Amino acid sequence: MKKSYLLLSAVIGVLSFSACTDAPESDTATTSEAKTAASASGEAYTVDPSASKIEWIGTKVTGHHQGSLAIKSGTINVQSGNVASGEFVLDMTSIAVTDGDDTASNNKLKGHLLSPDFFDASTHPEGKFVVTSVQPFSGTVADSSDKAQEGISKYKVTDPTHTISGNLTLKGVTKNVTFPAKVSLTDSGIEALAKFNINRKEWGIVYAGKPDDLIRDAIHLGISLKANK
């Protein structure tokens, strides 16, 4: 009985460890070749960088890393009460690591992320996202009252209103991504929230990591955006 208990405990431990190092369970953005940008027409709203942010999570065999990325500038255009187009500039040099209190370790990882192994920020200091399509969301909305869905909002937008497509440029490579988002429009401003995973290799970020600590391909992005007239 004791041996069975120890074996069961070991199995549970392995499964728990594996689960916590997997990519977050989130919507996976559909990726395709770059598309024509939506026409920049309508009333312009200016993104407030101080009230907007991108949070990221990367995972590997032995754990995960997390951090943030600043939105440098951006504009959203509204036509007939609907978001019609938009363009945002990402400050790749602002990438930060927020794993914990070990500043030296965080700064070391930040330096690696800025290097050619990852985002090559000295050559490509900016990223960009240009909207190509905004459509009403037509998928299945998660039931937030279902206990099985508890905690899902940490990595998913549970009540999306729109499906957004846009050309995402990282490290000089542009791909079109499509993902669900929640967009709220008022007379004074716009707020948007999106959470999804992308495959870093689509943008030529192919560094594998150490042989005994391989990095997973998925990167989770959590985007919170605010724009004002």
41, β-bridge pairs: none
Q: What is the pLDDT of residue 153?
A: 63
**69 vs 123: CA distance, rounded Å:** 17
Which domains, from first to last, does the chain contain? 23-228 (2.40.128.110)
Residue 15 banded pLDDT, cuts 50, 70, 90: very low
In this structure, what token pair is assigned to residue 158? 């549970």
Please give the average per-residue pLDDT across 121-143, as a whole number. 90
* Phi, psi of 202, rounded to the nearest 5 degrees: -60, -25
**Amino acid, single-letter form, for residue 85:** S
Strand partners, 131: 166
Give the whole-angstrom CA distance, residue 228 versus residue 48: 7
Of 33 and 152, the one with more pLDDT: 33
Q: Is the pLDDT assigned to residue 205 strictly greater than 80?
A: yes
pLDDT tens, position by position, 76-97: 999 999 999 999 999 999 999 9
Give the CA distances from residue 85 to residues 82, 110, 164, 190, in Å, rounded to whole numbers and listed in that order: 9, 32, 10, 13
